[in-house]
Amino acid sequence: MNLFRPKRKNLPIVFGLFFLIVVGALACASSDSEPESAPAPAPAPAPAVAPVTAPAPAASAPVAPVPVVAQAAVPTEISLTPSPEPTLASVVPPPGFTDKDLAPEITEPGEWINSEPLTLAGLQDEGKVVLVDFWTYTCINCIRTLPYMKEWQEKYADHGLVILGVHTPEFAFEHIYENVVEAVEEFGLEYPSVQDNDFGTWMAFSNRYWPAKYLVDVNGYIRYSHFGEGAYEETEMQIRDLLIEAGYDLEGISVNTAPEPQIDPDSDVTDAEMSRTRELYAGYERNYGALRSFTTPPYIRHVEYYEVKDEAVEYTDPGEHENHFLYLHGLWKNEADNLVHAQMTKDHEDYIALKFFGTSVNAVMAPETGEPYQVKITLNDEPVEMNRAGTDMQYDDEGNSFVHVDEARMYFLLDQDTYSGGELKLSSNSAEFALFAFTFGSYQGGEPVKGS
């Protein structure tokens, strides 16, 4: 896959004093914690099913400096306050709908995959029920839903259902058509997908999450929606109801009633240091965004990271790590979406470290300019045990655990049967090493999906 790297101005940010206040406040914070994002401002404790909240569409715009503010305005803890569940649209007869419930049209579409260009109006004329799925190919929440999407495609594509994937990118390399095509092929998706690089359809639907599903009836009305993972049997029942209402015969096609993946009860904790680790972002746009929110601590726990943009900085690992943060050692360059190892090394001297809790750990990585490389992975300063390794983990003749990074995608690092924590370190001697984000799961038995 190609890695798109838009040119950006070098915009030094001079607010070290402000971030010293932030770090000082965080060091004195209570043990409450915030895992990855959910539908409301305060995310739920550790829901592996929580959807991911998108950044603003104009993600490539330079981030303005953060003003110096009083210490009281700085977020000092990660909240574990549960948030309301997403509200699902009620299924009611079409006459009860207003114009507000009409599905908006596909807006500013890009390239199409697995199909010629489509419109919702045209599909409505054909009497089709349409399931619109907003997704992006490195999102673990989206990836976990794909087996169900493929099953529904197989069952109902010949019985009036059209699944329409709207690929709205999170990272710059996800804008590239060839990358999306390759991901669609690797995941085995046969239904139509359209690129939404400018967030046109996303904004037309007033969408906020990956993944998000909108079920549109033959009259063009949104009859049901669901955000995040889960509710697969419920969603399939809504699909069937609309197909039967439209006159399609589903005799002989049964509903999948198999138990859905369940959250490990051991992850239901109130101590931030033991709660499932939130999604961690390596690029400065998300880190500055967290600072500017005044509600969410940033992800990189080094003052130096925030003093300059797009420059290589020498970091020193403080040694003591807290859950929910990334720590750096050696020479690293911060970029808008990611961190890049800024020098060639000989003995894995430079590394990214984190303390985590969960049943699975995944990382979005890519070759900076296209040259493959290996990332050495250690757990508690030892090679990862085979019974805890994710599907992308490999081992050399000396028993060292590593991941071979040859394309821009999400890599499965750890997959544990039980909920637990540890210290992870990622290191590479290559200057190609680019890290974008870490994601974590807390499902019983580990990661529900075992690779693409």
Question: Has residue 215 been placed in a domain?
Answer: yes
Asked if the structure places residue 186 within a domain, the reply is yes
- Total number of residues shown for the chain: 452
Residues 309 and 425 in one domain: yes
At 112, which CATH number?
A: 3.40.30.10
Supply the pLDDT for residue 11: 32
Boundary residue ending a domain (228, 245, 262): 245
Does one domain contain both 391 and 293? yes
In-domain check, residue 450: no
Say what the pLDDT of residue 82 is.
Answer: 34
Neighbours of 193 (CB within 10 A): 23
Q: Is 307 within the bounds of a domain? A: yes
Which of these ranges, 36-45, 236-245, 369-378, has the smallest mean pLDDT? 36-45
Q: Per-residue pLDDT tens for 402-413?
A: 999 999 999 999
Asked which of 13-17, 109-113, 278-282, 369-373 is least confident by mean pLDDT, the reply is: 13-17
- Reduced 3-state DSSP string for the chain: CCCCCCCCCCCCCCCHHHHHHHHHHHHCCCCCCCCCCCCCCCCCCCCCCCCEECCCCCCCCCCCCCCCCCHHHCCCCCCCCCCCCCCCCCCCCHHHCCHHHECCCCCCCCCEECCCCCCHHHHHHCCCEEEEEEECCCCHHHHHHHHHHHHHHHHHHHHCEEEEEEECCCCHHHHCHHHHHHHHHHHCCCCCEEECCCCHHHHHCCCCEECEEEEECCCCEEEEEEECCCCHHHHHHHHHHHHHHCCCCCCCCCCCCCCCCCECHHHCCCCHHHCCCCCEECCHHHHHHHHHHCCCCCCECCHHHHCCCCCEEEECCCCCCCECCEEEEEEEEECCCCEEECCCCCCCCCEEEEEEEEEEEEEEEEECCCCCEEEEEEECCEECCHHHECCCEEECCCCCEEEEECCCEEEEEEEEEEEEEEEEEEECCCCCEEEEEEEEECECCCCCCCCC
Q: How far apart are CA 379 and CA 351, in angstroms?
A: 13
CATH code at 23?
Answer: 2.60.120.260
Are 368 and 340 spatial neighbours (Cβ–Cβ below 8 Å)? yes
Strands 382-383 and 209-210 turn out to be unpaired
Residues 233 and 358 in one domain: no
The count of domains in the chain is 2
Does residue 64 sit within a domain? no
Whether 295 and 241 share a structural domain:
no
Note whether 352 and 239 are same-domain residues.
no
191 within domain boundaries: yes
CB 109 within 8 A of CB 93: no
Q: Quick one: 158 and 231 in the same domain?
A: yes
Residue 115 included in any domain: yes
212 and 283 together in one domain: no
Is 325 in the same domain as 409? Answer: yes
Residue 52 lies in a domain: no
Whether pTM exceeds 0.85: no
In this predicted structure, the answer to whether residue 88 has a pLDDT above a threshold of 90 is no
Mean pLDDT (whole number) for 87-110: 66
* 401 and 288 belong to one structural domain: yes
- Examine the domain organization and report whether 276 and 222 are in the same domain: no
Q: Strand 112-113 and strand 393-395: pairing?
A: unpaired
Q: Which domain holds residue 126?
A: 94-245
- Mean pLDDT for 293-309 is 95
Average pLDDT over residues 21-36: 36
Residue 86 has pLDDT above 90, yes or no: no
User: Do residues 401 and 387 touch, judged by C-beta distance below 8 A?
Assistant: no
Do 174 and 307 reside in the same domain of the chain?
Answer: no
Query: Could you say which of 183, 211, 245 is where a domain stops?
Result: 245
Q: Which residues pair with 114 in a beta bridge?
A: none
* Same domain? 277 vs 185: no
Would you state the structure tokens that stand for residue 96, as one six-digit string? Answer: 């009860």
Q: What mean pLDDT value characterizes the chain?
A: 84
